[in-house]
Amino acid sequence: MKGFTTRIVHSDRQEAIEHGSLHKPIHANVAYGYEDARDLAAVFQGTKAGYSYGRQINPTVEALERKISRMEDGLQSVCFGTGMAAIGTMLFALLRQGDHFVSSSFLFGNTNSLFQSFDAHGVDVSFVDATDVAAVADAVTERTRLVFVETIANPRTQVTALEEIGELCRERGLVYVVDNTMTSPYLFQPKAVGASLVVNSLTKYIGGHGNALGGAVTEMGTFDWGGFDNIYETYRKGEPAKWAITQIKKKGLRDFGASLGPEAAHHIAMGAETLGLRLERQCANSRALTRWLDAHPRVKRVYYPGLESHPEHHRAERLFRHPGALFSFELTGDVDIWDFMNRLQVVVKSSNLGDNRTLAIPVAHTIYYEMGPARRASMGIDDSLIRISVGIEDTDDLLADFEAALDG
Ligand SMILES: *Cc1c(COP(=O)(O)O)cnc(C)c1O
């Protein structure tokens, strides 16, 4: 098989190429017309491949779905308007009242908030320390259907026990969902640890330019959906490996309508071509910056899986091509967080991550503000914690920016 970037750059050419266009054209189109009304009916009945309505299917979005399946070495992908839409629609399509699932407690904040809503609607969730497989195993009950984890957590960079949880899910017949956003398929393919379904926020590294929102769910083809009761009779057709992704698309996406638009799909597909190149640079910058900050007297602690002091350093080095492009750090008591941040000139004070630009955010005062001081303390979020999403700038410019801000 060819290398990652070769496969992605030449992905669209694997299917019939329209007018010789090297980029899949943007089909800004909602409805599809047929000469023969019988064809229209056949498309709706699923006996003939074709396009029905833009909420569920669009050729530009479909080309991106194929590209993501190639990146993740998966069977089939479905795209959504955002990463949150992908997670919410997937779980709503697969779980029923009375079901239970186990989730990592080190979660993207909005995913955490979403799971609390599932709990309020009769789908129970247990939050556990997923760096330890025993904590996950202890939380599994007879009603447990699924385990949900992220690869590297944000902002404290805990690395999940991905291999061990994969083993547990296989033994217990549980659906294993891995949110691969923080690593992206360039750094890690969750298929290697037995994931059933993989989630990616396309807004982050895959799109990479901070110019389009999107999300995706990819079926790995490893789970036996034949034994999964929550698949409706209508979708129990053809090979069982595709039953769940079909239900997520045909029912979940259709009913919720959190569709990805063709223009956004185009932006994301363009961004995806350079995913490997960008991450090489971003990870090299991350290693250089964390090494430098870790040795600085005004920095109390640096959280980055690439540092030997990180509790899951060896796991990260074993599983991932590089240990990611996001880190966080705490300042010593004599440094004012606002003065420090305002002295940064190259680094942008902003939320988001996975952008080409390096972004810094004071965690306790922004994305974790709503939680309050007690919950923040329980999660180890210090008031001086700053999260850095590392960009593709020249390494020396970033080092100089941090040096000037710390020594200023
Ligand atoms: C950003 C993010 C999401 C949500 O993605 P959006 O596209 O912003 O909705 C989900 N999971 C993780 C790990 C993320 O970082």
SS3 sequence of 33-49? CCCCHHHHHHHHHCCCC
| Domains of the chain in sequence order | 73-262 (3.40.640.10), 275-407 (3.90.1150.10)
Burial letters 88-110, b for 16+ CB under 10 A, else e: bbbbbbbbeeebbbbbbbbbbee
| CB-ligand 1 contact for 69 (6 Å cutoff) | no
- pLDDT band at 97; cut points 50, 70, 90: very high
Ligand 1 atom closest to Cα of residue 150: 13
- pLDDT band at 378; cut points 50, 70, 90: confident
Q: Is the pLDDT of residue 408 over 80?
A: no
| CB-ligand 1 contact for 327 (6 Å cutoff) | no
Q: Is the pLDDT of residue 215 over 80?
A: yes
- pLDDT band at 19; cut points 50, 70, 90: very high
- pLDDT band at 110; cut points 50, 70, 90: very high
State both tokens at 325: 């492009």
Ligand 1 atom closest to Cα of residue 202: 7
Q: Is the pLDDT of residue 102 over 80?
A: yes
Q: Which of 68, 113, 154, 181 to mutate to test the pocket of ligand 1 (most atoms within 8 A of CB)?
A: 181
Q: How close is the Cα of 84 to the center of ligand 1, in Å? A: 6
Q: Chain-centre distance of CA 353, in angstroms? A: 11
At 20-29, the pLDDT tens digits run 899 999 999 9
CA angle 172-231-88, nearest 5°?
A: 85
| CB-ligand 1 contact for 181 (6 Å cutoff) | yes
At 135-190, the pLDDT tens digits run 999 999 999 999 999 999 999 999 999 999 999 999 999 999 999 999 999 999 99
| CB-ligand 1 contact for 178 (6 Å cutoff) | no
Q: Is the pLDDT of residue 339 over 90?
A: yes
| CB-ligand 1 contact for 81 (6 Å cutoff) | no
CA angle 50-56-62, nearest 5°?
A: 65
- pLDDT band at 201; cut points 50, 70, 90: very high
Q: Hey, which bits of 309-377 come out as E strands?
A: 326-331, 348-349, 359-362
Q: What is the mean pLDDT of residues 310-337?
A: 97
| CB-ligand 1 contact for 355 (6 Å cutoff) | no
| CB-ligand 1 contact for 201 (6 Å cutoff) | yes
Q: How close is the Cα of 380 to the center of ligand 1, in Å? A: 21
Residue located nearest, by CA, to atom 6 of ligand 1: 83
| CB-ligand 1 contact for 76 (6 Å cutoff) | no
At 216-253, the pLDDT tens digits run 999 999 999 999 999 999 999 999 999 999 999 999 99
So what's the pLDDT on residue 269? 98
Ligand 1 atom closest to Cα of residue 182: 13
| CB-ligand 1 contact for 203 (6 Å cutoff) | yes
Q: Is the pLDDT of residue 394 over 80?
A: yes
| CB-ligand 1 contact for 219 (6 Å cutoff) | no
- pLDDT band at 15; cut points 50, 70, 90: confident
Q: What is the mean pLDDT of residues 12-40?
A: 92
Q: Is the pLDDT of residue 203 over 90?
A: yes
Q: Are 177 and 147 in contact (CB under 8 A)?
A: yes
Taken in order 89, 94, 100, 105, the sign of the CA dihedral is negative
**Cis peptide leading into residue 311 (ω within 30°):** no
Q: Is the pLDDT of residue 380 over 90?
A: no
So what's the pLDDT on residue 256? 95
Q: Which of 188, 204, 355 to mutate to test the pocket of ligand 1 (most atoms within 8 A of CB)?
A: 204
